Amino acid sequence: MDVRALVFDVFGTVVDWRSGVASEVARLLGEKVDAEAFADEWRSRYRPSMDRVRRGELPWTPLDALHRASLDDLLGDLGVGEVSEETRTELVLAWHRLPAWPDSVDGLTRLKRRHIIATLSNGNVALLVDMAKHAGLPWDTVLSAELFGHYKRDGEVYDGAVRLLALPPERVLMVAAHVDDLAAARSRGLRTAYVHRPLERGPEAPPPPATDPDADLTVGSLTELADRLGG
């Protein structure tokens, strides 16, 4: 593979959204809810809310606003009672402050030596910039669904990244812990690397597949990716 740029899915691939959201939920809502179950339920509303944008039922809406709407719905559905505007705003910012998986900063730092490294996430630009500063993720630049007015898995997101990087698609490697993200990237001509993240949905949930046989590479961490690509 003659890859020049690596573009990364972020939630689940580079950062641990479940632990990060649960710890902020515990801090901000305390005994009112089960923090991990709350994180899981909040995350489960992510795909349906994006799909409403993807089908054109909603105009373009950044992820922060989708998170806020699904938070309001969830708090109502659970009958949590009074939660202030300030607390709701802070809860949405939990997604800006997610912790990196233990291998991410070291792996990205090594990969950056020989490659361009960028996000390619459904998170909005401000979220991704805040997250990078908080978690020390050394991106060369932040690429986001927000730049293209389309959410993954729409092809416009992958095509848009390739266009902005001014590279042939086969010189761009999509790195993700989700096989459907990789399949969509592959359909637009990108190379693909699968990262096995068995704990993304917590220790109780069924783990994702150990490998993606359709991907160019399967690795268990970003440091292993650096070992494989050089860096």
Residues near 101 by beta carbon (within 8 Å), at least 6 away in sequence: 14, 15, 16, 197, 221, 222
Q: How far apart are CA 206 and CA 110, in angstroms?
A: 31
Q: Are 90 and 111 contacting, i.e. CB atoms less than 8 angstroms apart?
A: no
- Closer residue to a copy of itself (CB): 123 or 208: 123
- Closer residue to a copy of itself (CB): 105 or 147: 147
CB of 75 to a copy of itself, least distance (A): 22
CB of 140 to a copy of itself, least distance (A): 5
Q: Are 194 and 217 contacting, i.e. CB atoms less than 8 angstroms apart?
A: yes
CB of 173 to a copy of itself, least distance (A): 15
Q: How far apart are CA 227 and CA 229, in angstroms?
A: 6
- Closer residue to a copy of itself (CB): 20 or 62: 62
- Closer residue to a copy of itself (CB): 125 or 179: 125
Nearest C-alpha neighbor of 46 from the set 161, 145, 167: 145
Q: Are 148 and 156 contacting, i.e. CB atoms less than 8 angstroms apart?
A: yes
Contacting positions for a copy of itself (CB under 8 A): 62, 64, 116, 118, 124-126, 128-129, 132-133, 139-142, 146-147, 164-167
CB of 4 to a copy of itself, least distance (A): 10
